[in-house]
Structure 1
């Protein structure tokens, strides 16, 4: 339990590091770049296409005629750009967040490892492809669990328990795997998952509730439409910061558990009689990296003693 709270406050403190803050602001920069490039190459054609679609729609022709009689004859000229923006914003935000998620976790793991665990050997127990497959399978399992359990959401207490449990399970599966993929072997990762399953699930559930914070800002942006352009970037930044905090919390906890596991196994090996414990000290060498060899006793002459 002490490791749980220790990793929590360390993760919170690491969120104040300039590098972490810069990573949390990266989505906004990516959004600005993608939006600028998209506007330059696709804005005019997209707006014209939407205008034609609205004008040729038989279902909306009556509405356009009525608005024209009220003096709004060019309403599609204003509506088309708005629809393009509403359609493009979710796509741009999703691309930015996924890009940051891919690059942020390895950067945060390296940050924690360099500062707290520089001595921890990197056994590279999982590749990037394995991480992607693991995340995809875990996501599919979580979505299936949500679908299967959805009828139970009609029961008031369960609707507050089941979704956080499922998303917490998904968060713990994905982030724990990513936190250990570089340093732990496959066997060590399985052992840590088995020993710390409930603690990791608890971290995942807490992070799942924290991830709901940006939703409040999104809702505020809908209510306060005038502040849309301000509140949406704030929501994106909060979401990224929560993601960074979650990744740091899992990384601190998992690497601490890995260090304790290796220390425990080393002490156990020392206690077993006849066990040879490998050391990291290298044998002395001569110039040219040739090992220092002793002379063969059979060729030593008696007179040279």
Structure 2
């Protein structure tokens, strides 16, 4: 736990540097360009399709009954926008994570390396294509699991836990690769990921809980006014990017420290017969 806490403190200090805050600008612009166009062109068709789907399969009665049981009957007129948000939210998060992983993690790695580990040898065990492959494969699995667990949103506490665990798995998978891609060899990366899998999952899960906050703000704010939907979407995307940059820093500090410790242990083993 101590290495996790130390890495957290280092990441928190780095998060508020001007360089790290600027890192969110390019992914934000990319996300806004992508989702601005998609929401402008596809939001109304999506709402119409969901409305027709609910009407054809009697889902309005089912959802109204569930909401009434939970004491949330006042939300029945917002069922379609809420379902649309729950469908779009993971897609927005995934694209933000992809932009951070591909666009920002190399800069984060260079920053952490220069500040904290200037003497750490670079063994280039990862690659851009490798990072892209890990990102895309993880995203596919995550998206499928997210869809399967959507009904759990009827039980908010359970949904929050499941969401955090899913994000924990995805971020641990994606960011541990990116954090070690430049400095670790393939064998070193595999060794660290295996030996530190619980710590990596812990960092990812805590980050997942933090990552739930923008989504809660988006959905909660939109309950008061659907007009706020696009504004809150932009704010949520930016908050996700900030959280992902912090998460990237946290993983980077932790993984590079684990790599430094691994190499120090190997050197000691070579010296002491």
Q: Structure 1-normalised TM-score? A: 0.63
Tell me the distance in 2 between the aligned counterparts of 1:152 and 1:238: 24
Aligned to 2:108: 108
Tell me the distance in 2 between the aligned counterparts of 1:148 and 1:222: 24
SS in 2 for 1:212: helix
Aligned-residue offset at 1:227: 4.7
| 1:147-172 residue CA offsets vs partner (Å, 9 max, x unmatched) | 66778888887545444223211210
Tell me the distance in 1 between the aligned counterparts of 2:35 and 2:116: 39
Aligned-residue offset at 1:33: 6.8
Q: What is the Cα-based RMSD across aligned positions, in Å?
A: 3.8
In the alignment of these two chains, the number of paired residues is 228
Contact 2:32 2:234 in 1 (8 A): no
Aligned-residue offset at 1:231: 3.3
| 1:161-202 residue CA offsets vs partner (Å, 9 max, x unmatched) | 444223211210111011001100111111111211101000
Greater Cα shift, 200-209 or 219-228:
219-228
Aligned to 1:237: 238
Q: Structure 2 matches for 1:42-53, cutoff 5 A?
A: none
Aligned to 2:202: 202
| 1:100-155 residue CA offsets vs partner (Å, 9 max, x unmatched) | 44211111111101111110011000111112222223333444555667788888
SS in 1 for 2:24: helix
SS in 1 for 2:23: helix
Aligned-residue offset at 1:20: 0.7
Aligned to 1:123: 123
Tell me the distance in 1 between the aligned counterparts of 2:147 and 2:34: 34
Aligned to 1:179: 179
- Consecutive unaligned residues of structure 2, counting only runs of 5 or more, are 49-87
Tell me the distance in 2 between the aligned counterparts of 1:209 and 1:12: 16
Tell me the distance in 2 between the aligned counterparts of 1:149 and 1:225: 25
The verdict on how the C-alpha distance between 1:230 and 1:197 changes in structure 2, with shifts beyond 3 A counting, is: same
Aligned to 1:191: 191
Say which structure is richer in helix: 2
Tell me the distance in 1 between the aligned counterparts of 2:166 and 2:93: 22
Contact 1:221 1:232 in 2 (8 A): no
Tell me the distance in 2 between the aligned counterparts of 1:185 and 1:202: 24
Q: Structure 2 matches for 1:150-299, cutoff 5 A?
A: 159-219=159-219, 220-221=221-222, 223-225=224-226, 227-228=228-229, 230-272=231-273
Tell me the distance in 2 between the aligned counterparts of 1:161 and 1:231: 23
The verdict on how the C-alpha distance between 1:24 and 1:148 changes in structure 2, with shifts beyond 3 A counting, is: closer
The verdict on how the C-alpha distance between 1:188 and 1:27 changes in structure 2, with shifts beyond 3 A counting, is: closer
Contact 1:30 1:96 in 2 (8 A): no
Tell me the distance in 1 between the aligned counterparts of 2:130 and 2:101: 16
Higher RCO by CA contacts (8 Å cutoff, separation 6 or greater) = 2
| 1:15-46 residue CA offsets vs partner (Å, 9 max, x unmatched) | 1100111112334444677799x7xxxx9xx8
Tell me the distance in 1 between the aligned counterparts of 2:156 and 2:29: 41
The verdict on how the C-alpha distance between 1:18 and 1:35 changes in structure 2, with shifts beyond 3 A counting, is: same
- Consecutive unaligned residues of structure 1, counting only runs of 5 or more, are 55-88, 273-305
Pairing 1:6–2:27 present? no
Tell me the distance in 2 between the aligned counterparts of 1:169 and 1:32: 26
The verdict on how the C-alpha distance between 1:3 and 1:152 changes in structure 2, with shifts beyond 3 A counting, is: same
